[in-house]
């Protein structure tokens, strides 16, 4: 495999208050040399990260207190080298708004047998922990691929 030329990553979920901010923070922790952002397909624009997500992030040494949800745009997709999404339906949505970026849109759980990462919003603490465990594994795999 040749050298990947990835300089920017966009992490996408639905509301941009749980999964994508956490995934972006994890990626920043492991791949600090990349430009990493997050956005939501149906973002709760301007809202901070979910309290449970922030609390869990803090336990993992990550900070989400500065995060404010942003709406995903077609231009943002075009301007990014790699787009990581949580669910297959997110790939479809991105393909709808910016068909030309389909080739650089992949599941966050791609290296975990193409696992979709479920939305923990308003679910139990143990479900949040399960989801973030999956995300941590997924980001670890992506970090290995991106550092080649």
Residue 130: partners with Cβ closer than 8 Å, 6 or more residues away: 120
Active-site annotation holder among 102, 119, 136, 141 = 119
Give domain limits for the chain. Answer: 8-146
Task: Write down the pLDDT at residue 148.
Answer: 74
Answer yes or no: 7 catalytic. Answer: no
Which is more confident, 139 or 146?
139
pLDDT averaged over the chain? 94
Answer yes or no: 18 catalytic. Answer: no
Q: Determine whether domain 8-146 maps to CATH 3.30.70.1350.
A: no
**What is the distance between the alpha carbons of residues 40 and 21, in angstroms, rounded to a whole number?**
9
- Each residue of 21-78: pLDDT tens digit? 999 999 999 987 899 999 999 999 999 999 999 999 999 899 999 999 999 999 999 9
Give the CA dihedral 17, 21, 23, 29, nearest 10 degrees.
Answer: -150
Task: Write down the pLDDT at residue 2.
Answer: 46
- Each residue of 78-90: pLDDT tens digit? 999 999 999 999 9
Full-prediction pTM beyond 0.85? yes
Task: Write down the pLDDT at residue 3.
Answer: 53
Answer yes or no: 19 catalytic. Answer: yes
């Amino acid at each position: 495999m040749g050298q990947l030329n990835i300089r920017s990553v966009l992490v996408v979920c639905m509301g941009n208050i749980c999964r994508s901010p956490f995934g972006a923070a994890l990626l920043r922790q492991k791949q600090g040399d990349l430009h990493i952002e997050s956005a939501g397909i149906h973002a709760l624009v301007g809202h901070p990260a979910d309290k449970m997500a922030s609390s869990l992030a803090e336990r993992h040494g990550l900070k989400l207190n500065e995060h404010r949800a942003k709406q995903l745009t077609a231009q943002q997709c075009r301007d990014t080298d790699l787009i990581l999404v949580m669910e297959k339906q997110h790939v479809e949505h991105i393909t709808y708004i910016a068909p030309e970026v389909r080739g650089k849109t992949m599941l966050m759980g791609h290296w975990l047998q193409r696992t979709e990462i479920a939305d923990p919003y308003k679910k139990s603490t143990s479900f949040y922990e399960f989801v973030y465990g999956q995300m941590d594994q997924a980001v670890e795999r992506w970090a290995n691929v991106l550092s080649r």
